[in-house]
Chains A and B, each alone.
Chain A
């Protein structure tokens, strides 16, 4: 008994900070958001979620029928499908190329240059790319219109407008921003692959493609899983870039479920946070399902 008590006295003080963090910082907001999603909590009119009406699954029933929720999820999925392959495979290719640079100084310079965008703060990135894509003052359209004469000012591409180009334009910006950061992940993974494996494969007459596929790619799978899961999450739940480029215009492809959730919670009418929480939970449940599937796809098959 005494032993158990002293053991607990020795253990709990160390556990409590972590437990406090886990419950207070992570678990409680999740439970709270779940609770709110079952209420009619309006931020402007109700004192608190507790004073709002508990309406069970009514918000979920409404959300399932809501075309904005469906189109919002679909738009987010389309952007994720455009964004994810580039964000995963471009850095992988870049990492393989940089890994083959044997001159240490040159390799260092390459790494530094690649990391520069990752060091830039978000607002600066948005200003920079907003300028690049601008119709009136942007260099991309200046080249297309004034230098190459491929378009004139009346039909020049509107990169961030409600066009099919919007998601591609955003994905390009994100790829550029994250390229260096993700390349570093892969370089770390590449450094753990024994060089002997490559030498043996070459002695056995394996082609460079086969070496890449069977050794490099196979050994990078754990890194790949981490990046795919992380970036899937950020892509599907992207919001800042959408609001910056499309505002709250519901006809824009950038009006995704995250923007709808924000709009409902913080802007529209009485700020119906019960419904906004429901939209959030539907998106989150969808994302959790995809993440579980990704874990299954990338499971260790050894």
Chain B
């Protein structure tokens, strides 16, 4: 743990906003008390009351489908094992493209088909779910041991206005990756990571000039996956007092200039939208890197690890922290996909128990990080104890890059939770893209346009 992390961790431990959670014994006690109360209510109102019948429901988590896709052991094995402890009825969530309207619509009727939603990313939809009153904090249900075991930066990301709204699960960090085979073919050292953006771009140009691959580098054009993380390598403190991303910050200007230089060695469709999930996935960078047409790559770590699984030799994949310019902060963006607790759901204590069971299960992390798995999902565990155990005695299956990616968390920061968290990047994109496309010569003007586009939309809304 870095000093910063240690400090933050201690600060959070002193924070009284986290109500002490329950251990297993307390869970049973409360369960018994609830049972007794139920009996009393049933006696008063007779059999078949709504209260009595709803309590009979199985714990009903609902998952964003990609989680089942990346971790098939959840439905096939882990849920079955948990089902031996508590009745479980896991579902796939109706949230294509991060849509939360079904959750909100149900909350307005003070009901919820599900108890917990696994698939919430704080900067994407957490603020909207909170504003709508669809979810409640985990504070009362999550055990103190779990809270204290969370890596502090992850815990901070899950916390909003003093409450913990997300039960952290799958961690992604924006890193640099490269195809060692192409890099070697270009006459570069495949084991050496470019330390600065200048070096990164020089290497990428050498890849193209040596004809080792058609493209030197690729990035995902969505702002939260490229503009923000590259900005963070210069300075991560780029937010306005309203919590919006500061497009006109000098660090953002620097980042846009880096992206422009990367465009010279990237495919000409790099700014296109993706083919699935309303354009956010199966993006051109993914096709180019998976198809071994590009050497260097900026994206969250689980993208290159998955794509390398399709290569004849996946071991040529290398991963390192983001390059940084001299004087830059060297930070990057991370986000943790976690779980939200529905306010009108049931089985809340069991939901916390289930999330603990799920997130500590080693089968998940073996699937994510094992070098023996082709195309690992590559996401990281959120717990200090898990990492401490692995650091002390690295499992035989652990991929070499896992610790490298984990080390980035010490200097990375989440995108601020905000109702415009993700959409500010969607709205601003046409603005900053004018510079990338060459329609605007001045990056500052392009970014000012991005800011104006965001603010014009923000003004139309009550929040």
Task: Please tell me which one of the listed residues B104, B215, B275 contacts residue A43 in the complex, with CB atoms under 8 A apart.
Answer: B104
Q: Which of A31-39, A76-84, A151-159, A175-183 contacts B (4 or more CB under 8 A)?
A: A151-159
A246 within 8 A of B: yes
Q: When the two chains form their complex, are residues B430 and A249 in contact, meaning their CB atoms are under 8 A apart?
A: yes
Expressed in whole angstroms, the Cα–Cα distance for A249 and B453 within the complex equals 12
- Give the residue name and chain of the B residue nearest to A52 (CB): B462
Q: When the two chains form their complex, are residues B104 and A269 in contact, meaning their CB atoms are under 8 A apart?
A: no
Q: List A residues 218-266 near B (Cβ within 8 Å).
A: 243-252, 266
Q: When the two chains form their complex, are residues A44 and B104 in contact, meaning their CB atoms are under 8 A apart?
A: yes
A86 within 8 A of B: no
Q: When the two chains form their complex, are residues A161 and B453 in contact, meaning their CB atoms are under 8 A apart?
A: no
Q: When the two chains form their complex, are residues A44 and B131 in contact, meaning their CB atoms are under 8 A apart?
A: yes
Asked if A243 meets B279 with Cβ closer than 8 Å, knowing A249-B273, A269-B419, the reply is yes
B287 within 8 A of A: yes
B461 within 8 A of A: yes
Asked if A246 meets B423 with Cβ closer than 8 Å, knowing A45-B462, A135-B284, the reply is no
B426 within 8 A of A: yes
B108 within 8 A of A: yes
Interfacial chain A residues near B453, Cβ < 8 Å: 250
User: 0/1 per residue, B439-463, Cβ < 8 Å to A?
Assistant: 0000000000000010001101111
- Give the residue name and chain of the B residue nearest to A130 (CB): B275
Expressed in whole angstroms, the Cα–Cα distance for A160 and B274 within the complex equals 10
Expressed in whole angstroms, the Cα–Cα distance for A115 and B99 within the complex equals 35
User: 0/1 per residue, A105-127, Cβ < 8 Å to B?
Assistant: 00000000000000000000011
A291 within 8 A of B: no
Q: When the two chains form their complex, are residues B99 and A266 in contact, meaning their CB atoms are under 8 A apart?
A: yes
Q: When the two chains form their complex, are residues A269 and B430 in contact, meaning their CB atoms are under 8 A apart?
A: no
Q: When the two chains form their complex, are residues B267 and A153 in contact, meaning their CB atoms are under 8 A apart?
A: yes
A47 within 8 A of B: yes
User: 0/1 per residue, B263-299, Cβ < 8 Å to A?
Assistant: 0000111011111101110101001100101000000
User: 0/1 per residue, A265-295, Cβ < 8 Å to B?
Assistant: 0111111100100000000000000000000
Interfacial chain B residues near A40, Cβ < 8 Å: 462
Expressed in whole angstroms, the Cα–Cα distance for A88 and B108 within the complex equals 46
Q: When the two chains form their complex, are residues B131 and A270 in contact, meaning their CB atoms are under 8 A apart?
A: yes
Interfacial chain A residues near B426, Cβ < 8 Å: 247-249
Q: When the two chains form their complex, are residues A137 and B291 in contact, meaning their CB atoms are under 8 A apart?
A: yes
B132 within 8 A of A: yes
B128 within 8 A of A: yes
User: 0/1 per residue, B397-432, Cβ < 8 Å to A?
Assistant: 000000000000000000000011001001101100
Q: When the two chains form their complex, are residues A270 and B423 in contact, meaning their CB atoms are under 8 A apart?
A: no
Q: When the two chains form their complex, are residues A136 and B267 in contact, meaning their CB atoms are under 8 A apart?
A: yes
Whole-angstrom distance between the Cβ of A209 and the nearest chain B Cβ: 44
Interfacial chain B residues near A249, Cβ < 8 Å: 273, 279, 426, 429-430
Q: When the two chains form their complex, are residues B132 and A252 in contact, meaning their CB atoms are under 8 A apart?
A: no
Interfacial chain B residues near A158, Cβ < 8 Å: 268-269, 272
Which of B99, B279, B282 is the most central at the interface, judged by chain A CB atoms within 10 Å of its CB?
B279
Task: Please tell me which one of the listed residues B131, B275, B280 contacts residue A45 in the complex, with CB atoms under 8 A apart.
Answer: B131
User: Ordered nearest first, which 9 A-B pairs have the shortest CB separation?
Assistant: A247-B279, A251-B430, A269-B461, A136-B287, A247-B273, A158-B269, A153-B214, A161-B272, A44-B132
Interface residues of B (CB under 8 A from A): 97-99, 101, 104, 108, 128, 131-132, 214-215, 267-269, 271-276, 278-280, 282, 284, 287-288, 291, 293, 419-420, 423, 426-427, 429-430, 433, 453, 457-458, 460-463
Interface residues of A (CB under 8 A from B): 40, 42-45, 47-48, 62, 126-127, 130, 134-137, 153-156, 158, 160-162, 243-252, 266-272, 275
Q: List 11 A-B contacts (CB under 8 A).
A: A43-B104, A135-B269, A137-B287, A156-B268, A161-B271, A249-B429, A250-B427, A251-B430, A269-B461, A270-B463, A272-B460
